[in-house]
Structure 1
Amino acid sequence: MSIATFRKKLSANDVGQTGAHQGGLLIPKGEKDLLAMLPSLDRSVKNPDAWIDCADESGHVLKLRFVYYNNKLHDPGGTRNEYRITHLTGWFRDVGAREGDELEISRTDLGHYEIAIRSAGFAEEPVEFGLRVRLSAWRRVH
């Protein structure tokens, strides 16, 4: 049974459709409940991280990296101050994730993490000047 579940609508950039290199899914600092569900990171350390074993619906266990890029707090001229979940690109490709699908991540009452893709179920709109990037927020679903 999950104690917390969050979803994020995936952008073309999230799933690699734009050809751009992205450093994982952004978790805004204002997403306090989602950040509380993830492992605690020590802000006094430069770029602290934690590895999360996360099972998908087929039982495959992914090793995801939860990282706080914080060189703005540690280096003169540093610019990054953001949380991200990385190491998802290959899995997105394997499960056929597309723009508009939703990534769902949960933590169970036993402390295990689960991950799934929820299909958008609609055709992509044609875009005249290439793929557009749509930003979307995380939302709690349970």
Structure 2
Amino acid sequence: MEQTFAKTLSANDVGTTGGHMGGILVPKGDGELLAFLPKLDPGVLNPSAWIDCTTPDGETLRLRFVYYNNRLHAPRGTRNEYRITWLTKFLREVGAREGDAFEISGSGDSNRYRIRVVPAKAEKPEVDDEGPLRIRLSSSAWRRVH
């Protein structure tokens, strides 16, 4: 089944804060999104999987989905987070800005996905067919696109 997830890009995601971007954060509590991405073994230090992503231009990029988990494996470890890395060049080439949406689509049963950046002005708010227009507020910048 085809699925699409989108993340509203932060200033840090697009590199405008001047800091070193460690990739786009994937929330540990989002089971649906984690099930969509390759399964990573938390019993291994910093497990990762390479995922092939096709851009709107037809180029295939290899991104890395990684679980930085040294907090679980080292006495002084501090990291316990999932990230999608190797995106910096793509985000710069497409002119991604804070507030734009990074979308990743696929069937979730292989390591092949499609990615794109949707400019903020082109995004449409979610519509509830049962009533008036509603805006969904979330503590996560990620959301499933229906």
TM category (shorter chain) comes to 0.7 to 0.9
1:54-104 Cα distance to aligned partner (Å, 9 max, x none): 001111111100000000100001111110000000100111111111000
Bigger mean CA deviation after superposition, 34-43 or 104-113: 104-113
Separation (CA, whole Å) in 2 of partners of 1:78 and 1:93 = 31
Separation (CA, whole Å) in 1 of partners of 2:91 and 2:5 = 17
SS of corresponding position for 1:40: coil
Runs of 4+ in 1 over 6 A off after TM superposition: none
Counterpart residue type for residue 120 of structure 2: A
**2:35–2:108 Cα contact (<8 Å) kept:** no
Identity within the alignment, %: 61
Bigger mean CA deviation after superposition, 111-120 or 46-55: 111-120
1:64-103 aligned at under 5 Å gives the runs 64-103=63-102
SS of corresponding position for 2:33: helix
CA RMSD of aligned residues (A): 1.7
Q: Does 1:37 align with 2:36?
A: yes
Q: Does 1:140 align with 2:139?
A: no
Separation (CA, whole Å) in 2 of partners of 1:119 and 1:53 = 23
Separation (CA, whole Å) in 1 of partners of 2:140 and 2:32 = 17
Separation (CA, whole Å) in 2 of partners of 1:37 and 1:109 = 5
SS of corresponding position for 2:35: helix
Separation (CA, whole Å) in 1 of partners of 2:12 and 2:5 = 19
**1:101–1:117 Cα contact (<8 Å) kept:** yes
Separation (CA, whole Å) in 2 of partners of 1:7 and 1:64 = 16
Separation (CA, whole Å) in 2 of partners of 1:37 and 1:113 = 10
2:47 aligns with 48
